[in-house]
Structure 1
Amino acid sequence: MSNRVVALVVGAFLLVGSCLAGPLLLLTSVNDECVPAPVTSMAGSPPTVGQWDAEQLANARTIVNVGTDRRIPARGQIIALATAMQESGLHNLAGGDRDSVGLFQQRPSQGWGTPAQIADPVYAAGKFYDKLATIRGWQTMPLTEAAQAVQGSSLPNAYAKWEDDATALGQQLGAGTGNAADCSTTTAAMADPVERNPDGSWPKEPCSIRPDPTTGSGCLTPRTLHLVQQAEAAGFPKPGCYRVDDHGEHPQGRACDFMMTSGGEASGAQKACGDAMAVWAVANADRLGIKYVIWFRRIWTRSEGWHAYNNPFGGDDPSGWHTNHVHISLE
């Protein structure tokens, strides 16, 4: 036997031996750590949805629920699931490579939060989605590129192999469910007005409502919270407002996206719901302090009314063209 073969055998033995502190399990190396892998058949076929254990399913359900609460399209939830499958095997790990912690092996030293925060699956999933939202064009990227843009892994192509599993599990858990608009209870009632200065201008407001109740992170201004409440009272879908970004009003807590679909371009009843909300927003612009509205390739401003929207991100992405959500920014 050659020295190279001997070295490989010894290395494999040491890896397995170092991982046998508990019951005998199939193992995988994640960030140079040994963690339980999803169970596979004896023939080596990929795991099916039913083969994830109770802990893994609970963590996956948390990832999907956080994504749904934040109005993240199904594609984003699947990217998050695949990332956690690669990074932790869907286990909430107490440690990992260097100071990595949790489902996504996020590192406190890289600004993801404290170890205690990252160890909370709800927080960890929220931080993943926060970062994903800053990746321009993530909706149309290959899954492994979007995941890598968030994670910065030394194995940038490793996420691709989990796409089928993440898609199947996401579908089982209802990824994207609840993101499509339901305007069946919409009313045409005018919104309650917000306070204005004596000269008619809008008071400057801090981003003081913490956390943003629509995303569970960041903050909103009181005027934005009022918009959310009035839109809900009028029967429109729950929005996602605060997000980390390098432009616009979202990171200032002064903008909300009201999803009409789970990610694709709206049509039929969903398009009609978006049309109705855009009309409602413009009709209430003075009462709510609305700065501008974007919907279906058009933008409304106080000075120009409705006119063509020039997508600054390019491509044919529904999010970039606002054909899947109504965007409202406030003064």
Structure 2
Amino acid sequence: MTNRAVALVVGAFLLVGCCLAGPLLVLTTVNDECVPAPAMSLTSSQPAEQWDAEQLANARTIVSVGAERRISARGQIIALATAMQESGLRNLAGGDRDSIGLFQQRPSQGWGTPSQIGDPVYAAGKFYDKLATIRGWHTMPLTDAAQAVQGSALPNAYAKWEDDATTLGQQLGADPGSAMDCAAITAGMADAVTRHPDGSWPEESCTIRPDPTTGSGCLTPRTLHLVQQATAAGFPKPGCYRVDDHGEHPQGRACDWMMTAGGEASGAQKARGDAMAAWAVANADRLGIRYVIWFRRIWTRSEGWHAYNNPFGGDDPSGWHTNHVHISVE
């Protein structure tokens, strides 16, 4: 196997059963071996003890069914958040129209018979079956992935449960080092750019004018391809070209994806940045990515993730890249 870098966020949206009190980790794989990378933090809004015995039992069922089906921890958290919204993690006998159970699935829409849907194991399995058919769900915002399964009249309602689902999932415990989790991000693989037969990158000039993300300057074709692939994966619009006396931005070879309006990211914003950074590293060979900077860490081909030395000093979120993900291309 070649040096294939597949990154996986085990941060605000991946379950880590072994580290309940400490920071969570990003794992990368090199030659199929999971190794630690940047430390990730988690904001908890509802401790597990605030869920009663019935709710915790149903949550454990959702997580265990996901694990048995080799659904990544991200998928398990999406399922938990969905059940929190739909039923409050309770196996309801009824609901809107003919809705039943943890996920308020409807027999009239083909989810199963009332007795089947009333079984939490069956209901969780059916949720995962549908989730697995959604292309790119691994890199979607949680609420979009949940909505793609549920078809709710309130498509944005799932977002508010992301932190709670992440915290509860972490405390219930899943195996973050398993092969299924290390490979989960591969479903978000980008379309590869052209390379020479020897693997080197063709020379490119800053010929795309104007840069469509800023309306000025220029981008290289590879940078434009990166922007297009990141957009297709569901990440926000970046800012790329800018006039500067250093770095790749003035060459049209770098972009910044903002996760906040300016302040340091936390909670769901931090999780989104974690996902963006993981996706970029997973696709580095396919997109010609030279390096990634996010949350005081930098990833390079030669060293992987390591501490970032902010050349500007101070506590500015922009300088430390705690409000945006920076990606430079070859």
TM-score by shorter chain over 0.5: no
**TM tier, smaller:** 0.3 to 0.5
Structure 1 or 2, whichever has the larger Rg, is 1
Query: TM-score, normalised on structure 1?
Result: 0.44
Query: TM-score, normalised on structure 2?
Result: 0.44
RCO (CA 8 Å, sep 6+): is it higher in 1 or 2? 2
